[in-house]
A and B are shown apart, each in its own frame.
Chain A
Amino acid sequence: MKKSRVLSRIVIGLTLLFLFAPIAVLIAYSFNSGKSTVVFQDFSFRWYQNLFEDKAALAALRNSVVLAVVSTLISTVMGTFAAYGISRMRSRFFRSTVMSVTNIPMMNPDIITGISLMLMFVFVGTMLGLAESLSFYTMLIAHINFSLPYIILSVLPKFNQMDKAMPEAALDLGCTPMQSFFKVELPEIMPGVLTGGLMAFTMSLDDFVISYFTKGSGFQTLPLYIYSMTKKTVTPKMYALATIIFFVILTLLLISNLTDQDDGKNHKAKNN
């Protein structure tokens, strides 16, 4: 018993060390006043200041947030309704076909999803005689595309677990189908919708590969900006950016963990 405990600590400890050591290096050197990644000169916020004065970085951040918000909203609404429809499909064949197609963007390598969309956009754009085939909208379509399976996969189980008698009772008591959906079914599936939405939002902020192939010339997201930064010699400005991203994700994860716990409490309250 004791031996396996020690082993467990060693294994988990080494794994976490491996995962976090490189990130810790970036965070440490983001506070270095010099450019070197070997000598730590002085503690300073110089690179943070540098970052906040960088207009391109701020524009990229704004673009990323706009894109993530819009694509999350559209994919969450479309995906939630899709999960509702799929959970109520009678034909097994149709349901499994829809699910297989839904899973394609998740199973395919990002590079192929990106290339395939780009080929279609370029083809259609050339056919329509557009000066530029790729734009904010092509990227938006791409982001909705890879978000949808994650929304559906987190909402669908909630529909399947739900007591089917509840919406029926609502209908019996005089609700219209729409009312029953918004008053009975939506509150039940809400945790799944939120999980899926949060996932879609983070994935949209994080995506590089698919965005790289479907980007228009005037619209740069944060990952695309990071890519262009790492093409040249990198200044610690990038480390400052990485540090900020790290703490934002940490906060998001903490929030989602806390809401999970609240969820459990609510359930307990209901049962009492």
Chain B
Amino acid sequence: MKTAVKNRDGRGVSLLRRIAAAPHVAWSVLFVVVPLIFVAYYSFTDREFSFTLDNIAAFFTPRYLQILWRSVKLALLATGFCLLIGYPAAYFIARADAKKQKILIMLIMLPMWMNFLIRTYAWMVILQDKGIFNSVLLSLGLKPLKLMYNEGAVVLGMVYDYLPYMIMPIYSVMLKLDPRLVEAASDLGCNGFQVLRKVVVPQSVPGVISGIMMVFVPSISTFYISQKLGGGTFLLIGDVIENQYTANNLHMAAAISLVLMILLLAGMFVMNRFADDGAEGGLIP
């Protein structure tokens, strides 16, 4: 039958098959690969487009390294908190009955689709000097606290904005977890904690890894959260890129982007060594 198809219409079919992806491939080269080459090109040139290492060298000075370290630290903290809150949440949602599960997942996704500018700003309303939290403190006869413009507020903003990105992939691997494995483990004498440690956690590693990446990447590169909740009292790497862009200092913006990208690539490479296959645990359940 196959040869029959080939004889009659095979050429047409294979032509369509061959060219179907062509527009996308051309597009990806032109608007994904080439722009990344431009990042490298701008990084290693000055305003006259002659070769220079100054931009890259400027990055490896105490000022920028300190900013980089702070960005890594805050993004790691945010990722850690997201995992701490998101993992149990995903676990319990996956164990809820089917109807309830659908509603719960919808509720987790709802804030995810709300603009993060709004979600970040909502925390400003709560944490401001004369905000809701402090007015509650005042009415209880306590002293108002300085809650904003510090690293803690920025981490809180990151956790709040990106928590759904941690829950969703972990939830989707938890769904695939065979309940018989859990039963077998408890039948064979594991207690609840042992079942978790020996069966559930190892099986959920791919989801955890994609969750970590999906929270860490936007956290380390944010500039809005730090601008608003950090109040510009300290800079993160995203802030510096944005500042250089607004100052029309495109070559420096490119150099910092390049360094950030290479660091993230290295990080992902290490993470992928932990996960055997990254195929599971996508954002799409």
**Does residue A249 face the partner (Cβ distance < 8 Å to B)?**
yes
B245 lies within 8 A of A37 (CB): no
B118 lies within 8 A of A115 (CB): no
Stretch at the interface among A8-16, A42-50, A51-59: A8-16
In the bound complex, how far is the Cα of B218 from the Cα of A37, in angstroms? 29
In the bound complex, how far is the Cα of B123 from the Cα of A257, in angstroms? 29
- Annotate A76-100 by CB proximity to B: 1 below 8 A, 0 otherwise: 0011011011101100000000100
The chain A residue with its CB closest to the CB of B237 is A111
**Does residue B147 face the partner (Cβ distance < 8 Å to A)?**
no
B21 lies within 8 A of A112 (CB): no
Stretch at the interface among B50-58, B84-92, B173-181, B198-206: B84-92
In the complex, which residues of chain B have a beta carbon less than 8 angstroms from the beta carbon of A119? 35, 38-39, 41-42, 250, 254
**Does residue B126 face the partner (Cβ distance < 8 Å to A)?**
yes
In the bound complex, how far is the Cα of B115 from the Cα of A181, in angstroms? 37
Count of chain B residues near A, Cβ 8 A: 92
The chain A residue with its CB closest to the CB of B31 is A145
Q: How far apart are A139's CB and chain B's nearest CB, in angstroms?
A: 12
Q: Restricting to B6-42, which residues have a CB under 8 Å from any CB of A?
A: 8-9, 12-13, 15-25, 27-29, 31-36, 38-39, 41-42
- Annotate A117-160 by CB proximity to B: 1 below 8 A, 0 otherwise: 11110110000000000000000010011001010111000000
The chain A residue with its CB closest to the CB of B2 is A168
Residue of B21, B110, B111, B114 with most partner-chain A CB within 10 A: B21
B89 lies within 8 A of A12 (CB): yes
The chain B residue with its CB closest to the CB of A241 is B118
The chain A residue with its CB closest to the CB of B128 is A37
Q: How far apart are A263's CB and chain B's nearest CB, in angstroms?
A: 13
A109 lies within 8 A of B264 (CB): yes
Contact of B16 among A108, A181, A209 (CB under 8 A): A181
B5 lies within 8 A of A18 (CB): no
Q: Restricting to A1-21, which residues have a CB under 8 Å from any CB of B?
A: 4, 7-8, 11-12, 15-16, 18-20
The chain A residue with its CB closest to the CB of B93 is A12
Q: Restricting to A206-250, which residues have a CB under 8 Å from any CB of B?
A: 206, 208-209, 213, 222-223, 226-227, 230, 234, 238, 241-242, 245-246, 249-250
Given contacts A119-B42, A120-B34, A172-B4, A111 and B114 within 8 Å (CB-CB) = no
Contact of A19 among B1, B19, B32, B111 (CB under 8 A): B111
**Does residue A110 face the partner (Cβ distance < 8 Å to B)?**
yes
In the complex, which residues of chain B have a beta carbon less than 8 angstroms from the beta carbon of A25? 122, 125-126, 132
A226 lies within 8 A of B118 (CB): yes
In the complex, which residues of chain A have a beta carbon less than 8 angstroms from the beta carbon of B28? 98, 101-102, 104, 148
**Does residue B64 face the partner (Cβ distance < 8 Å to A)?**
no
B257 lies within 8 A of A38 (CB): no
B132 lies within 8 A of A38 (CB): yes
B32 lies within 8 A of A104 (CB): yes
In the complex, which residues of chain A have a beta carbon less than 8 angstroms from the beta carbon of B2? 168
B119 lies within 8 A of A23 (CB): yes
B114 lies within 8 A of A246 (CB): yes
B32 lies within 8 A of A105 (CB): yes
In the complex, which residues of chain B have a beta carbon less than 8 angstroms from the beta carbon of A141? 31
Binding site for A on B (CB under 8 A): 1-2, 4-5, 8-9, 12-13, 15-25, 27-29, 31-36, 38-39, 41-42, 85-86, 88-89, 92-93, 95-96, 102, 104, 106-111, 113-119, 121-123, 125-126, 128, 130-132, 135, 160, 163-164, 167, 192, 213, 217-218, 220-221, 223-224, 228, 238, 241-242, 245, 250, 253-254, 257, 260-261, 264, 268, 282, 284
| Contacts beyond the supplied A15-B85, A20-B111, A109-B221: 9 A-B pairs with Cβ under 8 Å | A38-B132, A38-B135, A115-B257, A119-B42, A206-B113, A208-B116, A242-B118, A249-B110, A249-B113
A-B contact pairs, 19 of them (CB 8 A): A20-B107, A25-B125, A25-B126, A37-B125, A84-B17, A98-B28, A101-B25, A102-B28, A104-B36, A110-B218, A111-B257, A115-B254, A116-B35, A144-B27, A153-B282, A202-B113, A223-B115, A241-B118, A257-B106
Binding site for B on A (CB under 8 A): 4, 7-8, 11-12, 15-16, 18-20, 22-23, 25-26, 29, 37-38, 78-79, 81-82, 84-86, 88-89, 98, 101-102, 104-105, 107-113, 115-120, 122-123, 141, 144-145, 148, 150, 152-154, 168, 171-172, 176-178, 180-181, 195, 199, 202, 206, 208-209, 213, 222-223, 226-227, 230, 234, 238, 241-242, 245-246, 249-250, 252-254, 257
**Which 8 residue pairs of A and B lie closest in terms of their CB atoms, listed nearest first?**
A85-B21, A85-B20, A82-B24, A109-B221, A22-B122, A116-B35, A8-B92, A88-B17
